[in-house]
Chains A and B, each alone.
Chain A
């Protein structure tokens, strides 16, 4: 159920809309379906197809499809209706060169490096080959000065004397990963915040088009270092739907087991970091030492701690013996005791409350408009969990609660994460008891060709709804288009809004309450002049007769 093949554009769930009337169509659809899942762009047959996907928080998706010519594509911006759309539109503008009329940040790049020539063709167009892209980036002679994220002069709302623009990042001790926030400060108070990401572009979406379905699986796993399994799982769900493959029941359980272990490790990582950001280093150390138990379990099951490469199209890559499941059961009990002790101690600790309660407050309306997902949205009281509304894996057989908290601040989001960790422990206990027998490993790994069609899949990683879109061309070994919408992208819009009015001391907590994973968002091409010897040669299209040497 998690993955759905899109039916033809017949006007029921996928509606073909002329580009002039997109604003009206979105206005209409947003009254019933206010959650914008993403804007997917595909370059096919000299057209750029834009797919706007909407959800009503019950999994009843509706899509709007707009077809634009690939020469000078232009369409009205919908960011006036749904706030979160502006960051999706920036991504499409960077990658496909679509001009959005009325966009609030008309000349700012989000993902492409500033060195990318202004008149050059956008990288994700099908007419741009890997060779051309390399040559184009080679020809860059000097770096362009970046356009300021918040213009200080001219039509600015601030006088230059009273406002300091503080650069927060790309290298800052509060951030695990490089990204940049331009913070307009009046004294210690923030009046405006603008994100700029894309410092770790890796061009994964473009690369995936040049690899076979199976190779792309290992590529997308590297989108994120924390929810790596969820990325490969979501991709697999979409691919299985597109290719018509069904995994066995034991495989579904094992996938769910690894995914929930991943959620536990991600949540305890974040709660520990909450202490670090609040200036409470001991909490960080305690939780990370408890988390080590889960990492060892993951290593035992999948052979690796981070990039687990455990899943494959049609199943998983190795079975887990009953002895190992017993160890999982034992260790998870130990972890539960330890986590309970620590979380009860820290979450009732008054100085920590002072740092988190009513900090970064946001309303449910703002969260919906920004398109926020996951614990961030649930912290504002909206029970939006893909595991419940669109069950996949073994979730239909397992009982668990969708945790919500009232309030919408750093504290409520933290509480959601703590409670969700206990729910995940409950799920794992059920999995160990209920897991069916059978062979979860497919006979052969998928090496075949694609069918014509498109499919998408959604899962619920620790950070919230992850969305993959896959398109296949008949007879091709490679996916025609892979679109990834990571949870941090819409959550970032919310965080930038929530920052306004708070002080510099709260920035680390507010920015990171969404559990940002900036590297996940960055999937474009990065190229630094002078780094040529370090550039890895990008692979060309894989020849059809290529045999993969190892049995994966």
Chain B
């Protein structure tokens, strides 16, 4: 989409601010949903239904004294939140949240997603390894293993999308879904696999090994405090929203829906509703999940999801060949 640079700048700022505040909303949704499953009330004090609690938590952490241990690699420690927040916001601008066309786009921008994934993980690694204590070392080690597993799965499921839509540009994939149908109807298995591997990416149960508190205290987050902790938590929230939005874009047709092409305002509303639905599904899995044993991680995450993707690929190939 070729728009004036000024418009792009304004849209960038608007989308960035929306991304920042929406990520707190999604944390609230997740906390409320998990609390309901666990017979608790969840946050309820700040704002209606405690809706502002995650944001207030963030502000409070910002104001806390930061304890930096001796021997911390300050470069890593300071750079990690910057990398994480910047890259995730940049990545979000490539998703069609506000309208059918993303704020930023170019040919083949699906590959930006991989850079964002890699750099988010890198920012965690840098935060974790800036001080090497037993807990951070074990936690970061687990993070690397987990990353190498879900990265492969994501890559493969995107390849299948590319295979069907015939384009690695996000806006083209959305347009393909609007002309035909959302990809979830063509690739249901791929959709399920992507949602499941999201749990691994976001370090949610049952794949919350990198910071499994009963095993490795806070894992790679053990040495963080104050504003760095606030920003690393923000990165976690942004990662959550970004990944869900990605699934909505690639599998659920973004904000498309009845009358969305006539009434422009409906696009972000539909998008949000779909994203909230996925957040609820994730929260439900979180609520009933038991953490996998670390040595069984490849068995529970890598092998079953990869083989499911192979099945999906075979089905897709047969279907396409029959069509051609």
Binding site for B on A (CB under 8 A): 164, 166-167, 172-174, 188, 275-282, 285-286, 289, 349, 351-352, 354-355, 503-508
B290 near A278 with CB under 8 A, answer yes
A502 CB, nearest partner CB in chain B, Å: 10
Contact mask B114-141 → A, CB, 8 Å, 1/0?
0000000000000000000010001000
A354 near B293 with CB under 8 A, answer yes
Q: Considering the complex, give the chain A residue whose CB is closest to the CB of B215.
A: A505
Cβ 8 A contact of B289, one of A166, A280, A506: A280
Contacts of B217 in A (CB 8 A): 172-173
Query: What are 19 residue pairs bridging A and B, where the CB atoms are less than 8 Å apart in the complex?
Result: A166-B138, A167-B134, A276-B214, A277-B214, A279-B206, A281-B38, A282-B38, A282-B288, A286-B38, A351-B206, A354-B293, A354-B296, A503-B294, A503-B295, A504-B138, A504-B215, A504-B294, A505-B294, A508-B215
A309 CB, nearest partner CB in chain B, Å: 31
Contacts of A172 in B (CB 8 A): 217
Contacts of B209 in A (CB 8 A): 505
B291 at the interface (CB under 8 A from A): yes
B212 at the interface (CB under 8 A from A): yes
Contacts of B291 in A (CB 8 A): 278-280, 355, 505
| New A-B pairs, 20, CB < 8 Å, besides A354-B293, A504-B216 | A166-B134, A167-B134, A172-B217, A173-B213, A188-B138, A277-B214, A279-B205, A279-B214, A279-B290, A280-B205, A280-B289, A286-B38, A355-B290, A355-B291, A504-B294, A505-B209, A505-B212, A505-B291, A507-B215, A508-B215
B16 at the interface (CB under 8 A from A): no
B218 CB, nearest partner CB in chain A, Å: 8
Contacts of A174 in B (CB 8 A): 213-215
B43 at the interface (CB under 8 A from A): no
Contacts of B208 in A (CB 8 A): 279
Contacts of B70 in A (CB 8 A): none
Most buried by A among B287, B288, B293: B293
Report Cα–Cα, A453/B220, bound state, in Å. Answer: 59
A506 near B134 with CB under 8 A, answer no
Report Cα–Cα, A352/B295, bound state, in Å. Answer: 15
Name the prevailing secondary structure of the A interface residues: helix
Report Cα–Cα, A505/B138, bound state, in Å. Answer: 11
Most buried by B among A276, A280, A505, A507: A505
**How many cross-chain pairs have Cβ atoms below 8 Å apart between A and B?**
75
A282 near B215 with CB under 8 A, answer no
Report Cα–Cα, A227/B188, bound state, in Å. Answer: 53
Cβ 8 A contact of B293, one of A173, A349, A355: A355
A239 CB, nearest partner CB in chain B, Å: 40
B308 at the interface (CB under 8 A from A): no
Q: Knowing A167-B134, A173-B213, A173-B217, say if A506 contacts B38 (CB, 8 Å).
A: no
Report Cα–Cα, A391/B206, bound state, in Å. Answer: 45
B290 near A352 with CB under 8 A, answer yes
Q: Knowing A276-B214, A279-B206, A505-B209, say if A164 contacts B289 (CB, 8 Å).
A: no
A271 CB, nearest partner CB in chain B, Å: 14
Report Cα–Cα, A351/B296, bound state, in Å. Answer: 12
Report Cα–Cα, A504/B212, bound state, in Å. Answer: 11
Contacts of A173 in B (CB 8 A): 213-214, 217
A282 CB, nearest partner CB in chain B, Å: 5
B142 CB, nearest partner CB in chain A, Å: 9
B293 near A285 with CB under 8 A, answer no
B38 near A349 with CB under 8 A, answer no
B299 CB, nearest partner CB in chain A, Å: 10
B39 near A503 with CB under 8 A, answer no
Contacts of B213 in A (CB 8 A): 173-174
Contacts of A166 in B (CB 8 A): 134, 138
Report Cα–Cα, A507/B294, bound state, in Å. Answer: 12
Report Cα–Cα, A508/B214, bound state, in Å. Answer: 6
Q: Considering the complex, give the chain A residue whose CB is closest to the CB of B213.
A: A173
Cβ 8 A contact of A279, one of B38, B40, B212: B212
B30 CB, nearest partner CB in chain A, Å: 13
Q: Considering the complex, give the chain A residue whose CB is closest to the CB of B297.
A: A505
4 A-B pairs with the lowest CB-CB distances in the bound complex, closest first = A279-B291, A351-B290, A285-B38, A174-B214
Contacts of A286 in B (CB 8 A): 38-39
Most buried by B among A172, A286, A352: A172
Q: Considering the complex, give the chain B residue whose CB is closest to the CB of A167.
A: B134
B17 at the interface (CB under 8 A from A): no
B206 near A289 with CB under 8 A, answer no
B296 near A188 with CB under 8 A, answer no
A337 CB, nearest partner CB in chain B, Å: 16
B59 at the interface (CB under 8 A from A): no
Q: Considering the complex, give the chain B residue whose CB is closest to the CB of A283.
A: B290
Contacts of A280 in B (CB 8 A): 205, 289-291
Q: Considering the complex, give the chain A residue whose CB is closest to the CB of B137.
A: A164
Report Cα–Cα, A352/B288, bound state, in Å. Answer: 10
B304 CB, nearest partner CB in chain A, Å: 13
Q: Tell me the residues in window 36-89 of chain B with beta carbons closer than 8 Å to chain A beta carbons.
A: 37-40
Contacts of A282 in B (CB 8 A): 34, 37-38, 287-288
